[in-house]
Amino acid sequence: MIQTRKGKIIKELFSRSGIKGFTVDVDGREERCIVYTSLLGDIVPGDEVLLNTTAMALGLGSGGYHFVISKTRPDETDLKPGGHIMKLRYTPGQLKVLSVEEEDSPYHEEMSRADSLEGIPVLVATLHSMLAPISILLAEQGVKTAYVMTDGAALPINFSQTVDWLKRQEYLCGTVTVGHAFGGDLEAVNIYSGLLAARHVLKADVIIVSMGPGIVGTGTKWGFTGIEQGEVLNAVDTLLGAPIAVPRISFADARPRHQGISHHTITVLSRVCKVSVLVPLPFLTEEQNQYILDQLYEEGLFNRHQICMEESLPGLAVLEKSELKMTTMGRGINDDREFYLTLAASAQTAIRLLNGQKPRFIKIT
């Protein structure tokens, strides 16, 4: 069930490829809305539109925007040539894309041959807020990095201001949207072909995988979208990449289940991920490191995965100088240093692998 309201577009707030933001008159109130122009075509001030107002009515984290479903008197549109793979299938919003694998794709032959990630590092994250810090730190070292966005959260990649900024700054060599996510430089049917496209078409040296903005959690062990991290790590191993699990670490989150290593990361590494992966940790205070090591030991994760530690303060200094304002769950670098130190450690682990160096493993028997 969705809640809908009619509105009249007032003025444009922003415009990026595939997306526009507007103020809109809804029952005499000036509110904000988003139009996905890749789905609806162009919308201009004065247009009367039908809005999906569900998220705002529930007070959910949609960024404070309604979403335009259509004009109230929509124009007819025609398909552009090329491609026949449908995303958002069997919904009123289903759209045609040119998938990187399909016969019409200029990369079809290359994708037909692609069968391995050739050992490159793949950093698998759970929060979209992890993407920018890792990308910035890899770019600082001249690493060619691609982003693969799953369909675990926001489906249009154009919704992400972070991705738009990273691409304009050339911190990413390209993007791939997999499953029902759409709008990337390349479209792919699933995570396997998406990873292969990032390596063989975009020619990435390192791949970052995460969902878009909008992770879902329920306060339960299994009811969260970040559980996909384990399945992606399994896929990386299957395709002969070097899987790196980016742990979610915080001592600023007030919720006990997210203290130290989040229970989400523990669940993924202990129950979902079926292969041995690298798990980078930062050097924190002695008390904080001991807390995290105890968590890992109690779950038997030293016997299942390769736990390593990296010095990450230099990376944190780079992030602090960035012009991009970085936040996670509303907290900036100074509010949640351990979170960002972990991302710096993860980026450094990938760089170490690229340089042919061994990670700094921790052994506990």
Nearest to 204 by CA among 118, 129, 102, 140: 118
Confidence of residue 38 (pLDDT cuts 50, 70, 90): confident
Residue 266 structural domain? 108-354
pLDDT at 62: 63
Contacts 24+ apart (CB under 8 A), 40-43: 40/68, 40/70, 40/71, 40/74, 41/75, 41/77, 43/9, 43/68, 43/71
For residues 303 and 233, state if they share a domain.
yes
CATH of the domain at 50: 2.40.50.220
Does a structural domain hold residue 101? no
Question: Measured between alpha carbons, how far is 248 from 223 in angstroms, rounded to an integer?
Answer: 17
Residue 83 lies inside a defined structural domain of this protein: no
- The per-residue pLDDT for 359 is 94
Asked whether residue 247 falls in the same domain as residue 134, the answer is yes
Average pLDDT over residues 48-64: 87
Average pLDDT over residues 302-308: 96
Query: Residue 115: what pLDDT?
Result: 98
Residues 6 or more apart whose Cβ sits within 8 Å of residue 73:
48
Q: Indicate whether 319 and 267 sit together in one domain.
A: yes
Instruction: Check residue 256 and give its pLDDT.
Output: 67
Q: Do 58 and 115 have their domain in common?
A: no
The pLDDT of residue 253 is above 80: no
Residue 84 falls within a domain, yes or no? no
Q: Is the pLDDT of residue 292 over 90?
A: yes
Chain-centre distance for alpha carbon 301: 25
**β 145-149/206-210 pair status:** parallel
Buried b (16+ CB within 10 A) or exposed e, 182-218: bbbbbbbbebbbbbbbbbbbbebbbbbbbbbbbbeee
Q: Which tops the pLDDT comparison, 280 or 363?
A: 280
The pLDDT, as a whole number, for residue 365 is 62
171 and 287 part of one domain: yes
| Contact (Cβ atoms closer than 8 angstroms) between residue 146 and residue 236 | no
pLDDT, mean of residues 200-229: 94
Q: Could you report the per-residue pLDDT of 57-99, keeping only the tens digit for each?
A: 888 766 789 999 999 998 888 888 889 999 999 999 999 999 9
